[in-house]
Homo-oligomer: A and B are copies of this chain.
Amino acid sequence: MSPSVTPHTEQDPKISRTHDARILDDLAQLIADEHIKPGDKLPPERTLTARLGVGRSTIREALTRWEALGMVERRQGSGTYLITPIEPTSPHVPIALKVEAESLIRTIEVRKVLECEAIALAAVNRTEKQMDEIRNCWQTLKDAHEKFGPSHDEDVEFHSAIMRASGNPLFNQIVNQLQEAMRVVYTRKPLGNEHIGDTSFPLHYDLLLALEAKDPDAARETIKDIIEITENEVREFLK
C-alpha cells in the first residue's frame, strides 16, 4: 500500500450538525435500549465508537461531560458505570439541553443551602437601615413585576439586598457568583416558558414580612419554598 498520505475518502455528509448533541442523544438512546440501570457497566469506549459511528475522542468528550455532572463514573481497567438514571428517548427535549438543565439544578441546590442559612441570619442580624434597603428593592421589584411581568434583574437585586443584611458578605458574594452562572445558562437556553419565577412572586412579600418580624424560621421556610419552585420548574422541564 502507499505509505502515508491517506486520501481520507469522502465522508458521509449526512450530518454536519453539531455531533456533540447527537452523540449525547445517541448515547442516551443506547442506554435506554440496553436497559442499562444505575450501577450497570456501559459498553467499553471502543465498542461505542463502533456502535455510534464516531471517533473515540468524541465518545470520551461526551462521557467526560457526564462524568463532570456525576452521571457516570469511570474506573480505569474496569469500565464506565452509570450512576444516575438516564431518561429514555425524551422525545422533544434534546439531551444537550438536559445537560444544561442538570447543571442548573446543581447550582440551585447549592444556592438553596446558602440562601436558607443567610436569610435566617439576616432575619436576626439585619439593621433598620438594611431593612429600608430591602423594602426599596421590594418596591422596585413589585413595580417592575406589575408593569413588565417577571423581571430577573430586580429579583436578583432584592435577594442580594437580603444577603447583604446577613452580616456575612461571603454569602452574598458566592450566591451572586452562582446567580451569574445561572443567568448565563438562562439567557443562552431559555427553558421553555419565560415566566420562571412568576409563581414565586407572591412569596417574596412573605419573605419581607418574615424579615420585618425578625423570624428566622419563617424566613428560611419561605426562601426554601421560593427556590424550590424554581427548582421544580427546571426539574419539570427535565421531565
- Chain A positions near chain B (C-beta within 8 angstroms): 38, 57, 60-61, 64-70, 73, 75, 81, 83-85, 94-95, 99-100, 103, 106-107, 109-110, 113-114, 117, 127, 129-130, 167-171, 173-174, 177-178, 180-181, 184-185
> When the two chains form their complex, are residues A84 and B181 in contact, meaning their CB atoms are under 8 A apart?
yes
Task: Name the contact of A83 in the complex, choosing from B84, B106, B174, B181 (C-beta under 8 A).
Answer: B181
| Beta-carbon nearest neighbor of A105 in chain B | B168
> When the two chains form their complex, are residues A73 and B129 in contact, meaning their CB atoms are under 8 A apart?
yes
> When the two chains form their complex, are residues B109 and A168 in contact, meaning their CB atoms are under 8 A apart?
yes
CB-CB under 8 A from A130, the residues of chain B are 73
CB-CB under 8 A from A60, the residues of chain B are 57, 61
> When the two chains form their complex, are residues A113 and B117 in contact, meaning their CB atoms are under 8 A apart?
yes
CB-CB under 8 A from A167, the residues of chain B are 70, 83-84
> When the two chains form their complex, are residues A114 and B103 in contact, meaning their CB atoms are under 8 A apart?
no
> When the two chains form their complex, are residues A70 and B184 in contact, meaning their CB atoms are under 8 A apart?
yes
CB-CB under 8 A from A67, the residues of chain B are 65
Measured CB to CB, the closest approach of chain B to A172, in angstroms, equals 10
CB-CB under 8 A from A65, the residues of chain B are 64-65, 67-68
Q: A133 to B17, alpha carbons, bound, how many Å?
A: 40
> When the two chains form their complex, are residues A68 and B64 in contact, meaning their CB atoms are under 8 A apart?
yes
| Beta-carbon nearest neighbor of A102 in chain B | B68
> When the two chains form their complex, are residues B168 and A85 in contact, meaning their CB atoms are under 8 A apart?
no
Measured CB to CB, the closest approach of chain B to A173, in angstroms, equals 7
